[in-house]
A and B are shown apart, each in its own frame.
Chain A
């Protein structure tokens, strides 16, 4: 069972890397952005499957940090600086959302 899971994971990652870096014909920035999007697919797996509520909160928090790097690379490709404004606002909202979700998880209400 354990070796089967290792083989499935290695085949998945290897197929993605082959398709991204050899088959897909685009600029190098988009290839790197595709790696970040593939990572966020794993994060969404943890959001859906996660056994407890704390797992889902952790995954949403991680997703908010991943998006900032993605937006910085997108702004680097298009040479526009307003992508980083979106990134800063996304980081702020993600931080406040993690704090609020953690308070709800702890069992207290939001205003004490």
Chain B
């Protein structure tokens, strides 16, 4: 009983993070801002949902598959976000007008 209450609270927190991250994906003005908002919030939200399912289910085969899913999300999602941001910057996607500093561009100019 107490396990189901804690698990449902984790699932609710995860779904709230998912929804807010997707709102950031729609609202923000730039590729990099959208990537930053959406990737962090949706990764944490999905991991929260999976953790809630693990707390409800306990240590059976479903629970171990869910733990494997959490580890997999935390390994792959930052790598994908980083490589998409790098590819977007190298392919010349413009930053938004309110940008103050672009240190990756300065670094590349310094190298050349």
Contact = CB atoms under 8 A, between A and B. Distances in A.
B9 interface: no
Interface of A: 32, 35-36, 38-40, 42-43, 45-46, 52, 54-55, 57-59, 61-62, 65-66, 68-69, 72-73, 75-76, 81, 84-85, 87-88, 91-92, 95, 98-99, 101-103, 105-107
Contacts of A87: 69
Chain A interface secondary structure, helix, strand, loop or mixed? helix
Nearest to A99: B83
A102 B53 contact: no
Chain B interface secondary structure, helix, strand, loop or mixed? helix
Interface of B: 11-12, 14-15, 18-19, 21-23, 25-26, 31, 34-35, 38-39, 42-43, 45-46, 49-50, 53, 56-57, 60-62, 65-66, 68-69, 72-73, 76-77, 79-81, 83-84, 86-88, 90-91, 93
Contact of A76 (B42, B56, B61, B86): B56
Contacts of A75: 53, 62
A59 B26 CA distance: 10
Contacts of B11: 32, 73
